[in-house]
Amino acid sequence: MKEIPQIREVNGIQTLFVNGEPFFILGGELHNSAAASLEYMDRNVWPNLQEMNMNTVVLPLYWEQIEHEEGKYSFDLMDGLIYKARENGMHLVFLWFGLWKNAESMYIPAWMKKDTATYFRAEKQNGEKTNTVSPLCKAAVEKDAAAFSAVMKHIREVDEQESTVIMMQVENEIGLMGTDRDHCAAAEQAFAGEIPEELEDCCQKSGTWAEAFGEDAAEAFMAYQFASAVERIASAGRKEYALPCYANAWLKQYPWYPGSYPMGGPVKEMHGIWKKTAPSLFTLSPDIYVPYVADILDQYGYDGNPLFVPEVRKDAVTSSYCLYAFAGRNAVGYSPFGIEELALPPEAVDKPPMEVMIALNIDPSAFDITGSRDYLKAAYGIINEMKPLLLKYRGTEHMKSYVKKSATDFGTYLQFSDFDILAAYSPQQNAKPLSAGIVLELSNNRFLLAGMRTEFTFMAKPGENVKADYLKIEEGILQNGEWKTARVLNGDEKMAVRLGDMPGCLLVELYKF
C-alpha cells in the first residue's frame, strides 16, 4: 500500500512527502477558467508546460460544474484533469472553488445562487446584501462540506495508488470586501455575544467581540466565522481522504482600511485565530503580487506555518524569489500564477486592466513575462538538482540564502566557520531577475554558490593576519546533489567570482596565506 501525500518533519522542518519521499512543489497556477474544459487544456495549456522543469500544476475545481443538480455529483472533468496530468508527468494541487472565491460566492451552483432565503448572503451595515454567502449560513456550509467530501472520496478512489493529486486548497482568498464585517441578523446576534472559549485560551481575551478585540473586533469576528466554516469543510473532506489542506490569503495591504481587503481571511494578523479554529489546515499561504515579495515570504514562512506560495507574480524576478523561498524559508512549494502564458510572446499575455491593478494595488510589472520562462526553468532546475543538499543543510549554519529586497539593498555579508563572504548585488533592471542565491559551506574551505546577479568576495575572518585566495573555481551543474564540473576558471575569469543573469552554479575552494 502506497503512502498518501502527507506533511512530515525532516530535521525539525515540516516537509511534503509524496510516495514516501520528500517532494518540493516546482509549480505553476493556471488562470481561473483554464481547467473548465479538457479540450482547452489540451490545446492551450499542457503543451505550454513542457520543458520548464515543473513537476506540479495548481488548478481549480469548480463546485458549479461538479454539482449541477443538488446532491448529484459529476467527476468527469476532474477525472480528465487527473488522467491528463499523469500523461504529462505532473502532479496536481487542486483549488476548491466552493462557497468562496476572491471574497465572493461566484462558483456556487446555480440552485444555491437562486435560493437566497436558504443560502443567505452576508450584509453590509446598511442592509445591502453582498455577493458573498454568509459564513454563518450553516445550510450553505454543510452543502459545501458534503460536496468537498464527495470530491475527496472520489480522488481517493481514482488516485490513492498514483498520488497524482498531492494537496488541496480549501476555498480561495476568503473574506468580505466592502464592509468591516457581516451585518446580517445571524451575524449581529453572534457579534453581540461572548467570544468562544477556545479564543479566550489562545488569545488571552474575554468578553464580547468588541470588548475582547477593540478596533480589531470586526476582523477577528470574521476570521473566526470563516475559519470555522473552512474547518467544517476541510475536516469533512479529510475524513474521506487525508490529503494536506491549506487556505490562501489575499494580502492585507495599502490602503489597509477594513473592507479594502477581504475581512476575515487568513492574513498574517489573523493567523492566531485561524490556527486555533481550523486545525485541519497544515498551513496558511500568501498570494503575492506586491513588489515586496521577500518580506511576505519572511512573514508567512515561520515555524508552525510551512511556506507554500500557491500564487505569485510571474515576471523575471519570480525566479529570484523562488530560490529564496526554498533555501531561505524552507518552502514546501512555489507557484507563479498564469504559468501557461510563459510560453507565449510577452505581447500576447492577457493583463488585467490598469484600473483593476490600481484598485487592487497590483504591481503592473508582475505581468511582464519577458525572459521569465527561461529564468524560472533554470531556477526550478537548480532547486530540483540541489534537493538532496537542501534537505541535508536546511536549518544549519552551513546554508545561507539571500535576495535583493529593495533598490537600496546593495548586498549581504555571510559569515561561515573559517571564511566570510561579501555578496554584492547588481542594480535592478527591467525584465531581469533580482540578485539572489544560495551559499552552501560543504567544508571549511569549499563553497557551493547557486543563484544569479551576484559578485562574491571571500575574506579571512576578522582579526586574522592572513589573506584569502582561490585554490580552484569551477563552473558546472548539479545532478541529484552531485557536482559535475563544466569548466575550471582561472586567469582573467578568476578576477571576479560572479553569477550572471541566468541562474547558475559555481564551486569555490579556498586557502589562506
- Which of 471, 334, 473 has the alpha carbon at shortest distance from 390? 334
Greatest mean pLDDT among 257-261, 329-333, 340-344? 329-333
CA distance 493 to 48: 37
Q: Do 67 and 174 sit in the same domain of this protein?
A: yes
The residue to which cell 480589531 is assigned: 216
Other CB atoms within a 10 A radius of the CB of residue 275 amount to 17
Model pLDDT, residue 363: 76
Question: What was the pLDDT predicted at 362?
Answer: 73
Mean local confidence (pLDDT), 138-153? 98
Domain that holds residue 343: 6-117+140-182+216-393
Q: What is the end-to-end Cα distance of the chain in Å, rounded?
A: 58
Q: Final residue of a domain: which of 393, 425, 454?
A: 393
pLDDT of residue 426: 97
Residue 322 and residue 351 in one domain:
yes
Distance CA 317, CA 392 (A): 27
Which residues of 239-339 form beta strands (DSSP E)? Answer: 245-250, 281-288, 308-312, 333-336
Nearest to 265 by CA among 338, 176, 354, 327: 176
Question: Does residue 108 sit within a domain?
Answer: yes
Q: How far is C-alpha 42 from the geometric centre of its chain's CA atoms?
A: 26
The CATH number of the domain holding residue 445 is: 2.60.220.20
Report the pLDDT value the prediction gives residue 1, as an integer from 0 to 100: 66
Let me know if residue 129 belongs to a domain.
no
Please check the confidence at residue 275 and state whether its pLDDT lies above 70.
yes
Residue 413 has pLDDT above 70, yes or no: yes
In a domain, 135, yes or no: no
Residues 379, 272 share a domain = yes
Residue range 73-110, pLDDT digits in tens: 999 999 999 999 999 999 999 999 999 999 999 999 99
For the chain, the domain total comes to 2
Sequence-ordered alpha helix ranges (H) in 3-56: 38-44
**C-alpha grid cell, residue 30:** 493556471
Residue 127 lies in a domain: no
pLDDT value for 188:
97
Q: Over the chain, what is the mean pLDDT?
A: 95
Q: Do 488 and 431 share a structural domain?
A: yes
Give burial (CB, 10 Å; 0-12/13-18/19+) of 56. Answer: buried
Final residue before a domain boundary, out of 377, 393, 409: 393
* Residue 421 near residue 447, CB atoms below 8 Å: yes
Residue 365 pLDDT class (50, 70, 90 cuts): confident
Do 364 and 406 belong to one domain?
no
φ/ψ of residue 12, rounded to 5:
85, 0
Burial tier of 125 (Cβ tally within 10 Å: 0-12, 13-18, 19+): exposed
**Residue range 445-467, pLDDT digits in tens:** 999 999 999 999 999 999 898 99
pLDDT of 444 > 90? The answer is: yes
User: Hey, CA dihedral for 219, 225, 228, 233, is it positive or negative?
Assistant: negative
Strands 281-288 and 245-250: parallel
Shared-domain flag, residues 372 and 416 = no
Cα dihedral sign, 191-197-198-204: positive
Q: Please name the helix (run of DSSP H) or strand (run of DSSP E) that holds residue 479, with its range, or none.
A: strand 468-479
By three-state DSSP, how is residue 348 classified? helix
Q: Which of 393, 426, 449 is the last residue of a domain?
A: 393
Question: CA 506 → CA 402, 461, 503, distances in Å?
Answer: 16, 22, 11
Spell out the residues 6+ positions from residue 222 whose beta carbon is closer than 8 angstroms to its own: 135, 175, 176, 181, 182, 263, 264
389 and 403 fall within a common domain:
no
Percentage of the chain beyond pLDDT 90 is 90
Which residue do the cell numbers 508546460 mark? 49
pLDDT band at 285 (very low <50, low <70, confident <90, very high): very high
Residue 198, in any domain of the structure: no
CA dist 499 → 322, 382, 488 (Å): 16, 13, 15
Instruction: Answer whether residue 196 is part of any domain.
Output: no
DSSP state, residue 313? -
Tell whether omega for the bond before 353 is within 30 degrees of 0, i.e. cis.
Answer: no
CATH of the domain at 50: 3.20.20.80
Are residue 411 and residue 321 in the same domain, yes or no? Answer: no
Residue type, 304: G
60 within some domain: yes
What is the DSSP-derived secondary structure letter of residue 290? S
Residues 335 and 430 in one domain: no
361 lies in the same domain as 288: yes
Same domain membership, residue 101 and residue 29: yes
C-alpha closest to that of 325 among 336, 338, 315, 339? 336
Considering the domain architecture, whether residues 248 and 299 belong to the same structural domain is answered as: yes
| 331, part of any domain | yes
Neighbours of 415 (CB within 10 A): 12
Q: Which three cell numbers stand for residue 308?
A: 507554500
Mean pLDDT calculated for residue range 229-254: 97
pLDDT tier at 63 (50, 70, 90 boundaries)? very high
